[in-house]
Chain A
Amino acid sequence: MILVLGGLWIGQNINLLPVGASVNAPIYDELFRVLFSIGTILFVGIVGLVVFSLVRFRRKPGQIGDGIALEGNLPLEIFWTAVPAIVVLFVGLFSYDIYERMGGMVPLAHGGHGDSQATEERVWGGIGTAGAMQAGSEMAVLPLPVEVTAMQFAFLFHYPEGDIISGELHVPSGRPISLKMEAKDVIHAFWVPEFRLKQDIIPGQPTLLNFTPTRPGRYPVVCAELCGPYHGGMRSTVVVESADDYDAWFQANRKLPVSEA
C-alpha cells in the first residue's frame, strides 16, 4: 500500500522532462507520469522482493538442508498472469486515448491526391490535426504552411507565403503549423524535444507534420536518425514568438507579397 502511494506520489512529482512547449506536450507528460508511477511501483516491488529473499532466505553458516519442495501454485500463477495483463491492457488503452488526443489516429491524408503524387502522405501531429485535415478551410485559423528540406547536414525552412528561406524555424505561438517535410539524400528525423514530437523524414516519401507551439522561446531542432559523419552537428533552432514578433520577422524577411487569396 505504501509502495503504491509512494509510486503515485513520485509519479506526480517527477520532473525529468524538458519544458513542454507545444499543445501535445502536457498530454505527453500526463502519459509519462502514469507510466512512471506504474513502473516505479513494479520496479521497487520486485527489487524489494528479490533483496528480501536474498537476505531472509540466505544460507546461514552451518546450514546444509534444502529449501521446501514447492513446485508451483496454480492460483498464484493465474494471479500474476492476470495482474500484468490487466495493467498492460490499461496502459495500452490509456496510451491509445493519449494518442488519439494528440491526433494520431487520423487516417492518412488524402490531400495528396490533388498533387497527383503516387507517394502516400503520412500525417502525425498535435491536437487540431484532425480538424485541420478534415475541415480544411472551415477552420478559424489556417495552419501556417512551412516546407522543410532535410539534407546532409542541415534543415532548410521555406515559407511559401513569403518565399522566405531560413535556417531557423520561426513560428508564431498558438497557431497550428503544418510542416511539409522532404529529405534530399538519406533518412533524417525532425525532433523538437520540447514539443515531444519526432518524425522521420524519408527520401521519396513527403511527410506532413502538424503541431501547435504554445510557449515562446528558442528550442533545439535535432536530427535523430543517423545520417552520416556530421549527424551530431545537424541541429537547428525553432523560435517560437508572439504573433506580433513573428509578423515583424516575416515582414522583414519576405520576398514575395502575401497573396490575399
Chain B
Amino acid sequence: MTLTLPQQSKPPSLQPTGWLRYLSFSVDHKVIGLQYLVCGFAFYLIGGALAGAIRTELTSPVADFMPRDVYNQVLTLHGTIMIFLWIVPVVNGAFGNYLIPFYVGARDMAFPRLNAVAFWLIPPAGLLLITSYFITGAAQSGWTAYPPLSLTTPASGQIIWILSVLLLGGSSIFGGINFIATILKMRRPGLKLMQLPMYCWAMLGTSILVVLSTPVLAGTLILLSFDIVAHTGFFNPGMGGNVVVYQHLFWFYSHPAVYIMVLPAFGLVSEILPIHCRKPLFGYTTMVYSIMAIVVLGLVVWAHHMFTSGTPPWMRLFFTIATAFIAVPTGIKFFNWIATLWGGKISLNSAILFSCGFIVNFVLGGITGVALAQVPFDVHVHDTYFVVAHFHYIVYGGSVFVIFASVYHWFPKVTGRMLDENLGRFHFLLTFIGFNLCFAPQHWLGLNGMPRRVAEYDPQFAFVNQISSVGALLMAISTLPFLWNVFASARSGEIAGDNPWRALTPEWLTTSPPPVENWAGEPPLVTHPYGYGIPADQIDLKDASGSDLWSNGR
C-alpha cells in the first residue's frame, strides 16, 4: 500500500476512510462492488434459511411445520430474495463493479454516483420485503405473482412486494446503463473491443438484456398494483381483464432474467479457467458471438413458461424451436471451456473445482432445459418438482457455484491474503454433494406427480423428499467452513502478494488490495488478456506427453 501516494497531497476527503467507507455513500467502484457482495451474501443466508424452512416442512407429507399461508409467504420470499437480492446483484453488481473498470482500463465506472444510488436502493428494498413478513404478512402468490391469485391474497403484503421489486428493478437498470456506458465509452485508448476480457462481453450482453426487459416488468407490476389498489381491471377477469397477458409481460422479463443471472457467471468462468489452467481461453471469437446469440435468442423464448396456459399451437411450436436453439450457443461455450481445460497445467484449487462443478451441474440443467422446451414433454412436468430441479441446477449449480469460484479467485486481490485451500476444497465437496443430493431426486418427484409449491403431498413421495432435505442440510452446513475461511483468512491468511495466480488481466497488474485510483501510474494496456501458455514448438519434450503434441496438431 505504499503506492497510494497521490492521496496524501490532496485535502482530506469528505468520504469516510477505513472500514466505515463500506457503510457510506462511496463512489469508489471497488467499495461498491464489495458492498454488493457482502449485502448479497447476507440476503443469501436469509434466503437459505427460508429454503431450510421449506425443506423442513417437506420432510413429512402433511403440513405440520408451519401454517399453509406462512408456507406460501416463505416460498415467495425465498424466490424473490434469491433472485433479486442475491444472484442478480452479486453476479452483476458485485463482480461487475469490481472488475469492469479494471478490465477496460478505467479508474472508475462511467457514472459513479448513479452506481452508488443503484447499490443503495438494494438494502432498503430488501429490508422492506423482509419486514413485510413481520408487519403485515408477506406476499403469498409466489415470485411470479400471477393474477388473479395476487389480486385475492392479502393486498398489503403484495403491494410491499411490488414496491420492493420495483426498487430492485430500478437498481438493476441503473447498473445496466452504467455497465454499457463504461464498456463502450471508458475503454483505455488503444484497447479494442475484441481485446476485452470475456467478462466484459458477458456484462455487455447482460446489461443489454437488463435495459431492454426490466422496464417491461416494472410496467407490468405497476399495472398489477393498480389492479390491487385502485381496482382497475387490467388482469382481473371479473372486470374484463386477461390474466394470460400478465404472464406474457412477466416472462418477457423473467426469462431474460435467467440469462441476467447466468451470462455474467459464464464470463467469470471464462476469466478463472485460463489463469488456473495456464492456457489461453479457447475460441475467444466464438465465445463473443455465442454470448450475443444468447442475448438475441433469450429475448424470444419467454412463452415456454406458458405451454399449459392455453397458448395457441403455432406459438408453442415457435417457442419450442427458439428455446431449443439456445442450447447451440450455450453448447459452444461449454465445449470451449473443456478445450481450455484440455492440455493445460491445471491447479486443482477451489476456484477450479467450483468452476468445474458449475460445468457439470449446468450441463445437466441445460439438458433438462432442452427437454422442457419440448411442448409434449413440458405438458407433463410443467409446474412440478422437475422444473424446480431444473432451475436450481441452472441458478444454484450454475451461478452460485461460480460466485463461490470467483470469491476463491479474487479474494487475494481484494484482501491481499489467500483463502485456505484445504477448507476451500472441503467446502466444495460438501456443497457439490449436498446440492446434488438435494436436487437430483427432485427430477424423479416431478416426473412421478409431485407439483411444486405445495406444503403437503402424496405420502408415497415422503422418502425421496427426506433425501432431498438431507441434501439441503448438507448445503446449509457447507456455508460454515466457507464463512470461517473468509473471516479467518481475512485476518491471518497467508500473504498473497500482488499477483499470486501469475495472471495477465489488468486487475492483477496493480497492488493487492488496489489503490483508490486502481493503478499508481498509467493504466496498463492489455491486448492479450489470455496470453498464457508456451507455443507448441517450445514445449519441453521431456515434460510433454504424446497427447500434448497431438492435441496441438488438431
Q: Is the CB of B345 within 8 A of A77?
A: no
A165 CB within 8 Å of chain B: no
Give B428 Cβ to nearest chain A Cβ, in Å: 12
Task: List A contacts of B448 (CB < 8 A).
Answer: 16-18, 193
A9 CB within 8 Å of chain B: no
Which of A43, A57, A106 has the largest number of chain B CB atoms within 10 A?
A57
Task: List A contacts of B141 (CB < 8 A).
Answer: 226
Quick one: given A50-B341, A50-B356, A202-B310, are A77 and B286 in contact (CB under 8 Å)? yes
Task: List B contacts of A252 (CB < 8 A).
Answer: none
Cα A231 to Cα B149 with chains together (Å):
11
Cα A96 to Cα B320 with chains together (Å):
9
Cα A85 to Cα B327 with chains together (Å):
8
Mark the stretch among A170-178, A216-224, A241-249 that contacts chain B: A216-224
Contact residues on A (Cβ < 8 Å of other chain), bracket: 35 or more
Query: C-beta contact mask, A189-220 vs B, less than 8 Å → 1, else 0?
Result: 10101101111101111010000000000001
Cα A98 to Cα B376 with chains together (Å):
7
Cα A27 to Cα B379 with chains together (Å):
13
Give B308 Cβ to nearest chain A Cβ, in Å: 5
B12 CB within 8 Å of chain A: no
Cα A224 to Cα B452 with chains together (Å):
7
Quick one: given A71-B282, A225-B383, are A35 and B342 in contact (CB under 8 Å)? no
B453 CB within 8 Å of chain A: yes
Q: Is the CB of B534 within 8 A of A17?
A: no
A185 CB within 8 Å of chain B: yes
Which of A47, A73, A99, A189 has the largest number of chain B CB atoms within 10 A?
A99
Q: Is the CB of B346 within 8 A of A91?
A: no
Number of A-B contacts (CB under 8 A): 297
Give A113 Cβ to nearest chain B Cβ, in Å: 16
Task: Enumerate chain A interface residues (CB-CB to B < 8 A).
Answer: 16-18, 27-28, 31-32, 35, 38-39, 42-43, 46-47, 49-50, 53-54, 56-59, 63, 65-73, 76-77, 80-81, 84-85, 88, 91-92, 95-96, 98-99, 102, 104-108, 120, 122, 124, 185-187, 189, 191, 193-194, 196-200, 202-205, 207, 220, 222-233, 235
Q: For chain B, residues 348 to 376, give those with C-beta under 8 angstroms from any C-beta of chain A.
A: 348, 352, 356, 359-360, 363-364, 367-368, 370-371, 374-376
Task: Enumerate chain B interface residues (CB-CB to A < 8 A).
Answer: 63, 67-69, 71-72, 140-142, 146, 148-149, 152-153, 237-238, 241-244, 277-286, 308-313, 316-317, 320-321, 324-325, 327-328, 331-332, 334-336, 338-339, 341-348, 352, 356, 359-360, 363-364, 367-368, 370-371, 374-377, 379-380, 382-384, 443-444, 447-449, 451-458, 530-536, 539-540, 543, 547-548, 551-552, 554
Q: Select from chain B the residue with minimum beta-carbon distance to A230.
A: B68
Task: List B contacts of A17 (CB < 8 A).
Answer: 447-448
Q: Is the CB of A53 within 8 A of B317?
A: no
Quick one: given A53-B341, A199-B308, A226-B146, are A43 and B363 in contact (CB under 8 Å)? yes
Q: Is the CB of A66 within 8 A of B278?
A: yes
Cα A81 to Cα B457 with chains together (Å):
43
Task: List B contacts of A81 (CB < 8 A).
Answer: 286, 328, 331-332
Per a CB cutoff under 8 Å, which of B140, B146, B345, B447 touches A63? B345
Cα A28 to Cα B281 with chains together (Å):
41
Give A223 Cβ to nearest chain B Cβ, in Å: 7
Cα A229 to Cα B453 with chains together (Å):
10
